[in-house]
Amino acid sequence: MVPLSHDGEIVLALCKKLLNTLRIMGPDGRAQFISTLAPGGQACHARPSLDPSIPSPVISYEDNKESFPNRIDWDSGNDYEEGIDDGDDGREIVVLVDHDIAMVWTPYWFKNNGQLTHVGTNCFTLAKDPVEGWKIVGMTDTGRWPSDEDKKRLL
């Protein structure tokens, strides 16, 4: 990854903060998750269909205020962990900043209770509010079942 500007470091840290909140269960985790988001923003997820009769990917949209935070079962007691998969084969973090907008591209892996469940890429869009600073306005992600190579590399 190329060296980042000051704002580049800040937006990457904010995206990592959102991912790290998944390890904090209960109201505190949810509140920290929401603190990274712009209230009028949206998340979009592209996932493989669990139903063979429905073509993949299945695209879902969620608003930042309610639907996106409610996607996570904060009271489950599960150990969720999402990590950035910065490495070989084109998997690298990309951070672009132009004054008060930014984009952060992060390949990722996701584990639930220590089990690798899926991998993919997050694409965060951010805006810099003059009062609150950087906030995540949008998050689009892909998800796919881990390949044997993914499992070998990540387990």
Structural domains of the chain in order of their starting residue, each with its CATH number: 6-69+81-154 (3.10.450.50)
CA–CA gap between residue 146 and residue 112 (Å, rounded): 13
What's the pTM value of the predicted model, to 2 decimals? 0.93
pLDDT confidence band for 155 (50 / 70 / 90) = confident
- Amino acid making up residue 46: A
* Average pLDDT over all residues of the chain: 94
Specify the pLDDT at position 1.
76
pLDDT confidence band for 36 (50 / 70 / 90) = very high
